[in-house]
Amino acid sequence: MQKDTSITDKAMTLMYHNMRNQLFGDGNKRTAILAANKLMIDHGAGLINVPLDKWDVWNDLISKYYLSGDMKTLKDWTYVNGIQGVTFDHKQNLPKPDIILKTTNKMYSKYKGLPERH
Protein backbone atom coordinates (compact mmCIF):
# COMPACT_ATOMS: atom_id res chain seq x y z
CA MET A 1 0.00 0.00 0.00
CA GLN A 2 1.30 3.45 -0.86
CA LYS A 3 2.47 5.81 1.85
CA ASP A 4 -0.02 8.52 0.83
CA THR A 5 -3.03 6.16 0.96
CA SER A 6 -5.75 7.54 3.25
CA ILE A 7 -6.67 5.82 6.50
CA THR A 8 -10.18 5.31 5.13
CA ASP A 9 -8.82 3.51 2.08
CA LYS A 10 -6.48 1.40 4.23
CA ALA A 11 -9.37 0.47 6.54
CA MET A 12 -11.61 -0.55 3.63
CA THR A 13 -8.79 -2.57 2.06
CA LEU A 14 -8.18 -4.34 5.38
CA MET A 15 -11.88 -4.99 5.87
CA TYR A 16 -12.61 -6.39 2.43
CA HIS A 17 -9.38 -8.40 2.30
CA ASN A 18 -10.23 -10.03 5.64
CA MET A 19 -13.81 -10.70 4.58
CA ARG A 20 -12.75 -12.39 1.36
CA ASN A 21 -9.99 -14.50 2.89
CA GLN A 22 -12.36 -16.05 5.43
CA LEU A 23 -9.83 -16.08 8.28
CA PHE A 24 -12.30 -17.64 10.74
CA GLY A 25 -14.93 -20.34 10.62
CA ASP A 26 -17.65 -17.84 11.49
CA GLY A 27 -18.00 -14.09 11.96
CA ASN A 28 -15.60 -13.02 9.22
CA LYS A 29 -17.64 -10.00 8.14
CA ARG A 30 -18.23 -8.81 11.72
CA THR A 31 -14.57 -9.27 12.67
CA ALA A 32 -13.38 -7.49 9.52
CA ILE A 33 -15.69 -4.54 10.21
CA LEU A 34 -14.45 -4.29 13.81
CA ALA A 35 -10.79 -4.35 12.74
CA ALA A 36 -11.38 -1.70 10.07
CA ASN A 37 -13.32 0.53 12.46
CA LYS A 38 -10.56 0.25 15.07
CA LEU A 39 -8.21 1.71 12.48
CA MET A 40 -10.74 4.40 11.53
CA ILE A 41 -11.39 5.41 15.15
CA ASP A 42 -7.70 5.45 16.06
CA HIS A 43 -7.11 8.01 13.32
CA GLY A 44 -10.28 10.07 13.75
CA ALA A 45 -11.61 9.03 10.35
CA GLY A 46 -15.18 8.16 11.37
CA LEU A 47 -16.73 4.72 11.01
CA ILE A 48 -17.54 2.25 8.29
CA ASN A 49 -21.25 1.65 8.81
CA VAL A 50 -23.41 0.67 5.86
CA PRO A 51 -27.06 1.55 6.58
CA LEU A 52 -29.44 -1.41 6.78
CA ASP A 53 -31.50 -0.18 3.84
CA LYS A 54 -28.39 -0.51 1.62
CA TRP A 55 -27.30 -3.98 2.74
CA ASP A 56 -28.81 -5.71 -0.31
CA VAL A 57 -26.66 -3.64 -2.67
CA TRP A 58 -23.64 -3.95 -0.37
CA ASN A 59 -23.91 -7.75 -0.14
CA ASP A 60 -24.29 -7.99 -3.91
CA LEU A 61 -21.11 -5.92 -4.39
CA ILE A 62 -19.29 -8.04 -1.80
CA SER A 63 -20.31 -11.21 -3.67
CA LYS A 64 -18.98 -9.78 -6.93
CA TYR A 65 -15.74 -8.84 -5.19
CA TYR A 66 -15.37 -12.36 -3.76
CA LEU A 67 -15.58 -13.75 -7.30
CA SER A 68 -13.40 -11.17 -9.05
CA GLY A 69 -10.90 -10.12 -6.39
CA ASP A 70 -11.27 -6.50 -7.57
CA MET A 71 -12.44 -4.31 -4.69
CA LYS A 72 -12.33 -0.91 -6.46
CA THR A 73 -16.07 -0.68 -7.21
CA LEU A 74 -16.91 -1.97 -3.74
CA LYS A 75 -14.59 0.54 -2.04
CA ASP A 76 -15.91 3.42 -4.17
CA TRP A 77 -19.49 2.49 -3.25
CA THR A 78 -18.61 2.09 0.43
CA TYR A 79 -16.88 5.46 0.51
CA VAL A 80 -20.05 7.17 -0.74
CA ASN A 81 -22.62 5.08 1.16
CA GLY A 82 -20.97 3.60 4.22
CA ILE A 83 -18.56 6.08 5.80
CA GLN A 84 -19.94 8.04 8.72
CA GLY A 85 -18.16 10.59 10.82
CA VAL A 86 -18.27 13.87 12.59
CA THR A 87 -19.42 16.86 10.58
CA PHE A 88 -17.99 20.10 11.88
CA ASP A 89 -19.73 23.43 11.63
CA HIS A 90 -16.78 25.61 10.68
CA LYS A 91 -18.72 28.72 11.73
CA GLN A 92 -18.44 27.64 15.37
CA ASN A 93 -15.63 29.18 17.32
CA LEU A 94 -14.04 25.94 18.53
CA PRO A 95 -10.65 25.96 20.25
CA LYS A 96 -7.67 24.76 18.28
CA PRO A 97 -5.98 21.56 19.54
CA ASP A 98 -2.82 23.41 20.64
CA ILE A 99 -4.95 25.72 22.78
CA ILE A 100 -6.55 22.70 24.43
CA LEU A 101 -3.12 21.20 25.16
CA LYS A 102 -1.79 24.46 26.64
CA THR A 103 -4.90 24.84 28.81
CA THR A 104 -4.64 21.24 29.95
CA ASN A 105 -0.95 21.69 30.77
CA LYS A 106 -1.66 24.81 32.84
CA MET A 107 -4.42 23.06 34.76
CA TYR A 108 -2.31 19.94 35.21
CA SER A 109 0.73 21.79 36.57
CA LYS A 110 -1.37 24.12 38.74
CA TYR A 111 -3.43 21.44 40.45
CA LYS A 112 -0.94 18.60 40.53
CA GLY A 113 2.18 20.61 41.25
CA LEU A 114 3.97 18.71 38.49
CA PRO A 115 5.89 20.02 35.47
CA GLU A 116 4.02 20.68 32.24
CA ARG A 117 3.54 17.76 29.85
CA HIS A 118 4.84 18.00 26.29
- Which 3-state string (H, E, C) describes 24-63? CCCCHHHHHHHHHHHHHHHCCCCEECCCHHHHHHHHHHHH
Determine the pLDDT at residue 3. 73
26-39 tens-digit pLDDT: 999 999 999 999 99
What is the value of pTM for the model shown? Answer: 0.70
Determine the pLDDT at residue 4. 82
59-117 tens-digit pLDDT: 999 999 999 999 999 999 999 999 998 665 666 665 555 545 555 555 555 555 555 55
**Around Cβ 66, how many Cβ atoms within 10 Å?**
15
Considering only CA atoms, which of 52, 54, 50, 13 is closest in space to residue 35?
Answer: 13
